[in-house]
Structure 1
């Protein structure tokens, strides 16, 4: 009864459009009050307010967001798209392939999906439309390519998942690298299929000489520098993920100073980073209160006991959980989805004998799908805002990529070592 009351309050507040952080905090407080009275609520809220933000690992999130915003204003995204365009532009749908490659490269130096989507919207979509690309094809590939920033390290979503599930942040970040490359390949293959079906949707692009291609690589040093400061630092064990995020933010700041020394631009980037970080911090605060409520009601333990007694096959349970994430992604953003489900689902996955890092990567990929599915597909709204393309067209352009992602999820679920191989080689 107590659990039901808390959940009803939460879903009613979310349905009324009340911010997620407030909904989590209020519903958690209501549940705690029903369990132990006002002194329990006051005690937990008082201690949570201080402990929520004093985590050493939590510092990664604002640092990755700051890094993404400095990259956004530095123009590194333009350079990466130029390189990809010159090396891939001549192939059928070449500019769309270049967009996917740029999304992967941007994801490797930025932990923000919305920043990646904004960069691709301003760099790749105008070029594709000028070349005569179909609007749905152009906007759809940009929207789905932006989601790669959630999977390829560094990734703020991965950090939040690891904190919620109390697992190794470093291993989870590195585990996203190979699946991220496979998703990039999946996007390219999907574009090839679409162009083969409708050749008029992607006319031939300009060809470039070998000299021009090699000359374009002169700007690749900025990407390689940021990639080394973050991902290689984590993989080689040179520093902790928090230290790597600080190095990445510093590197992105220096690049922005060198390439675009404009005080107003820096101020805007910093304000955006602070705003996003405060929003996430507030959500985490609310989630901790709600998490205490779930812990006291023992919902995870009761669910595990129920499934153990029901003798349901673990594969069926896995499919149902992944299906749940697909449905949730249509209505809530990824961070909210993780906060609501990971404290309950993660112990269940461990109990079923699945590897938690493998499942975490599958969850993030399902979150990618949610970023481009209606009605709450955030990346589609970002693309629409930056390009003035109707959001409905962006959603329709994303549908083929959603289907392709689901096929890849099935493959990764069937062969876990694809995900687990690289983190298994870490020291």
Structure 2
């Protein structure tokens, strides 16, 4: 009965729009009070803030966010799109394919999905509309390409999962590399299929000489340096993810200085944005810890694991139902909230079923990408609509071919876990 009351309180708070951090903290506190009374609740509330912030891995989050702020300030994203458009712009739908490539590149130096979507909307949407692209198709590929930042390291979503699940963040970040490449290629292939079926969706572009193509690569040098500094140092074992995050923020600042884009006002704005976002994430983690204490003490996880153990179903079939549940949750909830709420409950079940927790982390992040572009919550679609002034219904229609393609990729990664686990196994 206590668990039911607390879950109903949580659902009510989420429906009325209370911030997820407060919703989890208040409902968890109510549950703890019902379990042990006021002294019990006060003891947990006194120690939880310190135990939440007193984690070496937490430093990774503000450092990667600061790195993304410096990257946006430097204008590297514009150079990524221009270079990609020179190489593939001649093809029908080439600018849309270049958007996917730029999204992958920006994801490798950002980690923020909404920042990637906003940057791509500002850079690639005007170029595609100028060339005569269907706004529906153009907006759809921008929204889905922005989600790559959730998967390709440095991924804030994977870092959060690692902190919640208490597993190696380095393994998680490296595990996102191959799936990130696969998803990027899937977006490009989807664009190719769409423009083949609908000739009016996108025109062919102008061709460039090889000299122009190789000259464009000079502008993506800073991105490669930053990628090697972060992902290369983690993969080689030269740095922990926390150290790599600090190194990445420093290198990104040097790039902004090299590009002569780092003013005093821009520097302080980057620090303010980083502090604001980091505090929001830490507040969510704090609320999740309070709610997690309630789940642990009420034995919800143990009871759910015992019930799953009585099911006469193959583990892979159970996993399919779990992933379907994540897809449905993505229709209504923010992806960080989904991770915070579900991982403490689901991870013991995943281990019990014999699945690798690193594999599960990457799979649910890829599944969360679907939620980022599906109604009614599709955050990336709302971001693209805000920056491009295009109707939401039009953008949601444009992104649907990519949603179906993503579901196929999720199925392949579920059946073939080596697609995710091979690269971290070579570290």
Which TM-score applies when normalising by structure 1? 0.98
Q: State the Cα deviation string for residues 321-347 of structure 1 (Å, max 9, x = none).
A: 000100010111111000110001111
SS at match of 1:52: helix
C-alpha separation in 2, matches of 1:266 and 1:386: 24
Assess if the C-alpha contact under 8 Å between 1:49 and 1:285 holds in 2.
yes
Q: Distance in 1 between matches of 2:227 and 2:199?
A: 36
Shift of 1:286: 0.4
The CA distance in 2 between the partners of 1:45 and 1:392, in whole Å, is 44
Q: Distance in 2 between matches of 1:188 and 1:169?
A: 29
| Other-structure match for 1:9 | 9
Partner of 1:206: 206
* Aligned mates of 1:180, 1:20 — CA distance in 2: 28
Q: What is the Cα deviation at residue 228 of structure 1? A: 0.9
Residues 64 and 112, structure 1, Cα contact 8 Å, conserved in 2: no
Alignment correspondent of 1:74? 74
Moved more, 197-206 or 137-146: 197-206
Instruction: State the 1:258 CA deviation.
Output: 2.5
Deviation at 1:73, TM superposition (A): 1.3
> What residue in structure 2 maps to residue 388 of structure 1?
389
Taking the aligned partners of 2:380 and 2:265, their CA distance within structure 1 comes to 26
Whether contact under 8 Å (2:174, 2:235) holds in the other structure is yes
Paired residues for 1:408-423 under 5 Å: 408-423=409-424
Cα distance, 1:264 vs structure 2: 2.3
Secondary structure, counterpart of 2:332 in structure 1: coil
The aligned runs of 1:253-332 (5 Å cut-off) are 253-259=253-259, 260-332=261-333
Shift of residue 356, structure 1, vs aligned partner:
1.3
Report what 2:121 is aligned to: 121
Give the whole-Å Cα distance in 1 for the aligned partners of 2:425 and 2:224: 24
Match of 2:331, SS state, is coil
Give the Å deviation of 1:92.
1.5
Whole-angstrom CA distance in 2 between matches of 1:94 and 1:179 = 22
Aligned match of 1:367: 368
CA distance in 2, matches of 1:385, 1:215: 34
Q: Does 1:220 align with 2:196?
A: no
Please give the alpha-carbon distance, in whole angstroms, between the structure 2 residues aligned to 1:190 and 1:410.
Answer: 16
Deviates further, 313-322 or 370-379: 313-322
Q: What SS class does the counterpart of residue 53 from structure 2 fall into?
A: coil
Q: CA deviation at 1:216?
A: 0.8
How far off is 1:70 after superposition? 1.1
The answer to whether the Cα contact below 8 Å between 1:77 and 1:102 also exists between their aligned partners in 2 is yes
* TM-superposed deviation, 1:276: 1.0
Secondary structure at 1:330's aligned position in 2?
helix
Indicate whether 1:98 and 2:98 are aligned.
Answer: yes
Q: How many Å separate the matches in 2 of 1:319 and 1:336?
A: 21
Give the secondary-structure state (helix, strand or coil) at the position aligned to 1:239: coil
State the Cα deviation string for residues 24-72 of structure 1 (Å, max 9, x = none). 0000000000000011111111101111112100111111111111111
CA distance in 1, matches of 2:311, 2:363: 25
Where do 1:136-147 residues align within 5 Å?
136-147=136-147
Matched, 1:110 2:110: yes
Contact 2:81 2:123 in 1 (8 A): yes
1:243 aligns with 2:243: yes
Q: Partners of 2:400 and 2:269 in 1: how far apart? A: 34
Count residues in correspondence. 426
Instruction: Work out the CA distance in 2 between the residues paired with 1:231 and 1:92.
Output: 33
Contact residue 363 and residue 410 of structure 2 kept, 8 A: yes
Instruction: For residue 418 of structure 1, report the CA deviation from its aligned partner.
Output: 1.0
Deviation at 1:268, TM superposition (A): 2.4
Q: Secondary structure at the match of 1:17?
A: coil
Deviation at 1:5, TM superposition (A): 1.2
Listed one character per residue, the Cα deviations across residues 350-386 of structure 1 (whole Å, up to 9, x for unaligned) are: 0001111111111000100110011111111111111
Aligned alpha-carbon RMSD (Å) = 0.9
* Stretch of structure 1 that moved more, 391-400 or 171-180: 391-400
Instruction: Provide the residue aligned with 1:196 in structure 2.
Output: 196
Structure 2 residue runs of 5 or longer lacking an equivalent are none
Residue pair 2:73, 2:262 contacting (<8 A) in 1 also: no
2: CA distance, partners of 1:138 / 1:269: 29
Q: Verify: 1:130 aligned to 2:135, yes or no.
A: no
Per-residue Cα deviation, 1:185-237 (whole angstroms, up to 9, x for no partner)? 10001000100011111011121111111111111210111001110010000
In the TM superposition, residue 105 of structure 1 has moved relative to its aligned partner by 0.7
- What is the distance in 2 between the residues matched to 1:95 and 1:301? 51
